[in-house]
Amino acid sequence: MAALPRESTPGYLRLLGAGLTCSVLALGAAQAQTGTEPAEDADAAAAAAADGQTHGQRAAAEAAAALAAGEADEPVILKAPAPDTRRVYVQDPAHFAAVTQQYVIDGASGRVLGMTDGGFLPHPLAAEDGSFFAQVSSVWSRIARGDREDYVEVFDSETLRPIADIAIPDDAQRFLVGTYQWMNALTPDNKTLLYYQFSPAPAVGVVDLEEQKFDRLLDVPDCYHIFPASPTVFYMNCRDGSLARVDFAGGETEVTNTEVFHTEEELLINHPAFSLRSGRLVWPTYTGKIFQMDLTEEGVNFRPPFEALTEAERADDWRPGGWQQTAYHRPSDRIYLLVDQRDEWRHKTASRFVVVMNAATGERIDMLELGHEIDSINVSQDAEPLLYGLSSGSRTLHIYDAASGQELRSVDQLGRGPQILMTHDMGA
């Protein structure tokens, strides 16, 4: 073996750390990542930081010490820590690949806690109370051809084992589309999963999670997305510019439409933010006009819309853009929107800035510079939120202090084209 170059020692440790990482991953356990250490290991983290060590380097040192002390290696399958408000799920649609993956990440430490596999364009969902997470997925008998099977899969939050596998009938197949965060939803009581069907006619599939069975397909008007407001009422956004209220209690389907709330020229993006806990729906247009509604079982309260960008900024080509462009922090009633200077029809390219707004007044609180090409954002729903910025291009999750915009840590190697960020809103 050739002599190691002078600066090879850290590299050697990194390699050792990477080797251990692979071993740990193979056991279905947490993957070591660079960045701040988990809270429970605060002392060790401080020591590691003082040494300039990454988590992988520290794990390598610990393993070497254990070996030197004669401790036996006893491989086990680990459990993820109990979910909290800073857990974040990163779904990777992988540019329309037939199989996909989701990464379960501790935002506080920047560590991958586990992974789940999915089929073609699966739709991820998370119970707000952290009790489970789920996905609606599609597989084929010969990878990307043959017999198609749609299904709902429910996972235990800590073991990540599937605890339910519910078949969707052939005549009730789901909409295959680039993943939109609210095209499928859980009802607030977590007892029902609702998914959208585009063809042959707009419909919403009802899956009974308690009984673990497909219930029925609801005929709905020409409307899209699903925003539940109660166990049996949800809203959709319709082609005619209104919202539809759908009540499916008692085996019936009753549909009513609200007033038209936007014009044909006001193009609402595919990625509104919605709080299942508060019922707030935040829906930007291509130009950054923010529509807000409060959805209750009874009806909709439309709030006065406001502009996220100033007239001067809009004149200077500032526009929202990316994939999951909108985030809403329920406890502080703040809206976060991805923006940058761009051509009008480059609305799906990445952005480098986030505008922070007071949702009640429309007042701008801050404009944060992210320092990276970011496609999707979300926030943790705790009192001092983390801002998650996901780059599909570099396949990296950047984690910021949402108040200051300072980048705290990052997690890389997240599949091939990660796009969706999902959290648990575990507050009251």
String of contacts with other proteins for each residue 144-183, x by CB under 8 A: ---------------------------x------------
The angle, 0 to 180 degrees and rounded to 10, between the axes of the packed helices 42-51 and 55-68 is 100
Which one, 224 or 306, has the nearer CB to other proteins?
224
What residues have CB less than 8 Å from 148, skipping those under 6 apart?
138, 139, 140, 170, 173
Which one, 202 or 279, has the nearer CB to other proteins?
202
From the list 193-201, 254-262, 384-392, 400-408, the region that binds other proteins by CB under 8 A is: 193-201
From the list 141-149, 153-161, 192-200, 288-296, the region that binds other proteins by CB under 8 A is: 192-200
Residue 252 found at the interface with other proteins (CB under 8 A): no
Record the tokens describing residue 280, joined without a space.
């707030």
Residue 255 found at the interface with other proteins (CB under 8 A): no
Residue 260 found at the interface with other proteins (CB under 8 A): no
- d(C-alpha 212, C-alpha 207), whole Å: 7
In the residue annotation, 227 being an active-site residue is answered as no
Rounded to a whole number of angstroms, the minimum distance from the CB of residue 342 to other proteins is 27
Catalytic position from the list 96, 120, 132, 306: 120
Contact at 8 Å (CB) between 305 and 289? yes
Which one, 198 or 261, has the nearer CB to other proteins?
198
CA nearest to 279, candidates 262, 297, 259: 297
The angle, 0 to 180 degrees and rounded to 10, between the axes of the packed helices 8-26 and 55-68 is 80
- d(C-alpha 140, C-alpha 155), whole Å: 21
Considering only 52, 70, 200, 304, the residue that binds other proteins (CB under 8 A) is 200
Residue 52 found at the interface with other proteins (CB under 8 A): no
Residue 198 found at the interface with other proteins (CB under 8 A): yes
Task: Provide the β-strand partners of residue 213.
Answer: 208
Helix (H) or strand (E) holding 48: helix 42-51
Residue 201 found at the interface with other proteins (CB under 8 A): yes
Residue 42 found at the interface with other proteins (CB under 8 A): no
- d(C-alpha 45, C-alpha 50), whole Å: 8
Instruction: Say whether the peptide bond before residue 200 is cis (omega within 30 degrees of 0).
Output: yes
- d(C-alpha 15, C-alpha 307), whole Å: 50
Residue 239 found at the interface with other proteins (CB under 8 A): yes
Residue 384 found at the interface with other proteins (CB under 8 A): no
Considering only 62, 189, 222, 254, the residue that binds other proteins (CB under 8 A) is 222
Q: Where does this chain bind other proteins (CB under 8 A)?
A: 171, 198-202, 222, 239
The set of catalytic residues is 120
